Amino acid sequence: MPANSSNSLDVAAAIVERINPIGPAKLQKLVFYAAGEYAALTGESLFPENIEAWDYGPVVYSLWKTYKSFEADGDILESQLGDVNKLNDLAKGCIASVVAKYGAFSGAKLIDMTHREPAWIESYMPGHGRTEIPLNVLVESFRNRQATSAISDELVDEFFAAQTRA
């Protein structure tokens, strides 16, 4: 398998291909989950940019900067500057998995969910603005998460069951 040579915009482009329109908060959280799954499997970063713990959950600053105008203007309809072809097959698989698991959740729900993630909890420092979520924390958090994935699978199943009843 070729090494991954992507950046966060490439990951975002792959997500926007699958879900659009999509709000910037939802996009950020799905990028975080894809990075976490990839890190758990490989021990490596999905992209070179840091993931940071912000008040509203994990954020990639360069991705935020690219899409910040959408926070006021609405949903993202197409990717900005990303190239899906830079992603290796494992990265694409992680993104597809994350979209399948979490793609139906709103941005607000994903913010709430990421506030319960050990990687964000361990890294977040109230009043300090942006704090990096170190790769080793992301790896450990998501590897532990895989061991207890039945909990998140139950949450996803519960959500879809509620949608069906509605």
Could you read off the pLDDT of 14-71 as tens digits, one per residue? 999 999 999 999 999 999 999 999 999 999 999 999 999 999 999 999 999 988 877 6
Q: Is residue 3 part of a domain?
A: no
Q: Is residue 50 part of a domain?
A: yes
Amino acid (1-letter code) at residue 141: S
Residue 163 in this model has a pLDDT that exceeds 70: no
Q: Is residue 1 part of a domain?
A: no
Domain boundaries, position 62: 8-165
DSSP 54: E
pLDDT digits (tens, 9 = 90+) for 70-110: 765 568 877 778 999 999 999 999 999 999 999 999 999 99
Q: Which residue has the tokens 């950046």?
A: 7
**CB 25, CB 37: distance < 8 Å:** no
Q: Is residue 2 part of a domain?
A: no
